[in-house]
Structure 1
Amino acid sequence: MKFADLGLSDELLRAVTEAGYDEPTPIQAGAIPSVLMMRDMIGIAQTGTGKTASFVLPMIDILAHGRARARMPRSLILEPTRELAAQVAENFEKYGKYHKLSMALLIGGVQMGDQVKALEKGVDVLIATPGRLMDLFERGKILLTGCDLLVIDEADRMLDMGFIPDIENICTKLPANRQTLLFSATMPPPIKKLADKFLSNPKTIEVARPASRNENIEQFLVKTSERGKREALRNLLDAEDVSTAIIFCNRKTTVRELAKSLQRSRYAAGEIHGDMDQSSRIAELDRFKRGDINILVASDVAARGLDVKGVTHVFNFDAPWHPDDYVHRIGRTGRAGAKGRAFTLITPSDDEAIDNIQKLTGYKVPFHDAGKGGTTPAKDEEREACEPRREKSDRGGRGKAKRAEGAEKPSANPKKAGERKSAPAPRRSQDDDGPDDGWNGPMPDFLSVGFGN
């Protein structure tokens, strides 16, 4: 099947061809005709299969007929994070260059002035995160009564991250007679029931079982210990033919500390997490996309839908707490038919998390050959002694991961690389700021209350 068979306009087909695409992906082939027929829809497909174009392309043709009015957007796309919102905006610019459509991007972390000016001129497409949208709505800067098309992207994340009250509130401001589209990589049954409240007789298009295995991604488990994680990661970076890699951590503090550790070891590494302001996050992503750095240490704020071409490896420095997050993390590689490799560093305490991941995906992830990667095996029956391991792994050969220009190769001994060796940190410390779901607001007072103090 070709894009020309889907009923898209000649101008849109020209833009798609110039972008280098000829054949639609399965989710695009299934979704585009239904969207053009103005049907409500739930689209479920693995990450990296082109869900964004599934709604961007038909929306451009639908919105080509009509005129925008001041402060009354004609369509609304909700995204869970600023990065995803900016990415959708880039898609509209790329595919809509032969259409005279106006667009506004409402995200937090930037000045409202330019956003308000764009709304006052009238926009055909409004791409927003829920927080900034509700803020401007309550200030009287925007009316949603003329919005006839609603898209909730990454629906499971939007509904599962505490956005349910915001989405319900937003839906009450929209016309009752509207078209609503939900797209997601995973759709657990409880979340799907919540999503069904917003749709009228939806058509469900499922091109792959939720969280099923992507055959283009080779997955491996790497046994190590809490003390040996950083060395195991460095050994993998040196042993693998790493072009570009994303390393995921569960906590923002771990992201910051690991990025600094890799930089001290002369790797070209950067970081991105929810505590960074918007300009810093965009700047760091741009450095990664340009190739100024080839390793990005990230929290789960970068796991959903973020599309960076050419990511060859994903490393889970921490096994994710939620099995759905594993699917999204490793989905940053192996995109658009490319091959990728994903490694998850595990300790004995991760057994339950790995079991849940393998139940969800229906795939038993093999263990990586420790000799090949030089990793430190975990001890299953006894806890590691307080004295750190003194064994040096064989790191012979030239490291493949990109190092800072003119830097010397660090010693295998972490002490020579400038790292501290200390007793294991307690499971929860004062600086342990928890998982990163992209929240940048103040810490609620009740979280500071402890027990037994």
Structure 2
Amino acid sequence: MNDTSLIQDDKEVARELMAQIKQDTSTIASRIDTTVGVKSEQKLLVAEHFSETGLSVDLLRALYRQGFEKPNPIQKSAIPHILSKHNIVVQSKSGTGKTLAYTCGILGNIMAGKEAQAIVITPTRELSTQTAKVISQVAQYLGVTVFLALKGEITTRAINEEIIVGCPGMILSLIQNRKLGYKGIKMVVLDEADALLDITCSMGAQTYQILKLIAGAQMIFFSATYSEERKHTIDFFASDAIKMYEERNGKPEGIKLFYIEAEGDNKRKALKSLYEYLSVSQMIIFVNTKATVNYLRKKLEDDLHSVSCLHGDLEKEERDKAVDEFNKSNTKILLTTDVFSRGMDIPQVNLIVNYDLPIYKGVASTQTYIHRIGRSGRFGRMGFVVDFVKGDECEAYLGFQNELKFASKKFTIRALEEVAEEMV
């Protein structure tokens, strides 16, 4: 493959990756912080304080108790518009604190002790669980409660919590079964809006129904990527929305991209070598099929690695357990399909491996690639990505680089082994 990084040979690239990821892992080990939030020492933060965004004194106190002191650029821009009850569309790269942005907006606009007033819709069970936790951490100081709507959880009572978080299917079911009154809903947030508005799947159709039911509510859309089709859909529901689009989709800043050429059984051998020679804090391995998850899990466990696994066919208890184990660092490897590619924050993850590139039936998905690699480099930290590229994927991979305007650096496993031997 033609590569713009040929000023470095394979060993130099391998040496760079090994040294930088080792340094980052040492930093994580010295100050692990599993709280989702933007801390004052991180470089995404700007000078303005939350007190200048229009938040109430009580909400400011709640933020300070949680350790939040200064808003980052996304929060600084989005919060005032949400507080002003504007419909708003925000495009923000992964790890930029969007959850806190709309959390502040919601808590600034609703009242404690009243009926359900805000709905937050996400595409996955895992993201819903994480989002509800983040909102609850701030809301608890204001007397505001959060209901987490999860499939499989039986709800016999009427829902009186002020904020509802869940996937579109479950939220729509609660409305249709009259467990959730929607007439008092003043705000709706679509977190990962591009996925939620995909009318080609049931999730998109369910989201459409919810938006039509609460057509008079304030609509807030967040995502790292927006296709032109999604932009037109948003215009249909909220033509007057304040739009904060980036000029083009791009990779999150601070993420270093590398690739190796491998296919067949050599991919598995390369994966084993990466884990053996790189000093990784935690890593996420993305694959395209459930069968590959099961295959690699057996191979990794045979090599005595502890692995958490996620795919759509797992029972909810299994999925919850996998995320919890990985979040608590009980396992160092998460092996997953794209069910985990959106929005999830595990701060100690510093390596993403695209064992399979997001190419489906010959079609490459740049948006999925952006969401996958955004699981590292969270909140201004450095992150690393190693892509496995097969011979017939070279053209598609170059397409990723051209569209996102980045150059990925090539190395070989042999070069990595030689560098490791030199360091002994």
TM-score normalised by L of structure 1? 0.78
Partner in structure 1 of residue 345 of structure 2: 307
1:178 aligns with 2:225: no
Q: Find the counterpart in structure 2 of residue 105 from structure 1.
A: 148
Distance between the aligned counterparts of 1:33 and 1:232, measured in 2?
48
Deviations 1:136-189 (A, max 9, x none): 333232221221111111001112362332122112221x43210100000111
1:218-254 superposed Cα distances (whole Å, 9 cap, x missing partner)? 1011111222000011111112111111110011110
Match of 2:371 in 1: 328
What's the counterpart of residue 24 of structure 1? 71
Cα distance change, pair 346–43 in 1 and its aligned pair in 2 (3 A): same
SS of the aligned residue for 2:288 comes to: coil
Indicate the SS of the match to 1:313: strand
Residues 187 and 210 in structure 1, CA contact (< 8 A), matched pair in contact too = no
Q: Report how far residue 271 of structure 1 moved.
A: 0.8
Matched with 2:22 is: none
- Rounded to whole Å, the distance in 1 between the matches of 2:380 and 2:391 is 34
2:319 aligned with 1:272: no
> How high is the sequence identity, in percent, across the aligned residues?
28
Q: Alignment partner for residue 165 of structure 1, among 179, 186, 205?
A: 205
Question: Residue 188 of structure 1 corresponds to which residue in structure 2?
Answer: 227
The 1:357–1:112 alpha-carbon spacing in structure 2 relative to 1, beyond 3 Å, is same
Offset of residue 370 of structure 1: 4.1
1:112 maps to amino acid? I
Cα distance between partner residues in 1 of 2:372 and 2:342: 7
Quick one: which amino acid aligns to residue 230 of structure 2?
Answer: I
Q: Which runs of 5+ in 2 are unaligned?
A: 1-47, 360-364
1:198 Cα deviation after fit: 1.2
The question of 1:132 aligning with 2:165 is answered no
Partner of 1:411: none
Deviations 1:368-422 (A, max 9, x none): 2543334xxxxxxxxxxxxxxxxxx9985999xxxxxxxxxxxxxxxxxxxxxxx
Displacement of 1:99 in angstroms is 0.6
TM-score of the superposition, structure 2-length normalised?
0.83
Q: Deviations over 1:343-374 (max 9, x none)?
A: 00111021233133113211122212543334
Q: How many residues align?
A: 370
Mapped to 1, the partners of 2:355 and 2:149 lie a distance apart of 33
> What does residue range 14-413 of structure 1 map to in structure 2 within 5 Å?
14-64=61-111, 67-69=113-115, 73-108=116-151, 110-113=152-155, 116-117=156-157, 120=158, 122-160=160-198, 162=201, 163-174=203-214, 176-206=215-245, 208-321=246-359, 322-374=365-417
Mapped partners of 1:222, 1:251: distance in 2: 21
2:196 corresponds to which letter in structure 1? M
- One-letter amino acid of the structure 1 residue matched with residue 114 of structure 2: A
**Structure 1: gaps of 5 or more residues:** 375-392, 400-453
Residue in structure 2 matched with residue 7 of structure 1 by the alignment: 54
The residue aligned with 1:431 is none
Q: In structure 2, give the amino acid aligned to 1:50.
A: G
Shift of residue 303, structure 1, vs aligned partner? 0.5
Question: Which residue in the other structure is 1:381 paired with?
Answer: none
Output the amino acid matched with 1:301.
V
Structure of higher CA gyration radius? 1
Instruction: Tell me the SS of whatever aligns to 2:260.
Output: strand
Which piece of structure 1 moves more, 270-279 or 41-50? 270-279
Query: 2-side partners of 1:129 and 1:397: how far apart?
Result: 51
Where relative contact order (Cα < 8 A, 6+ residues apart) is larger, the structure is: 2
Contact 1:235 1:395 in 2 (8 A): no
> Per residue, is there more helix in 1 or in 2?
2
Q: Quote the Cα distance in structure 2 between the aligned partners of 1:133 and 1:337.
A: 33
Paired with 2:225 and 2:248, the residues of 1 have a C-alpha distance of: 5
Relative to structure 1, the CA distance from residue 151 to residue 134 in structure 2 (aligned partners, 3 Å threshold; closer, same or farther) is same
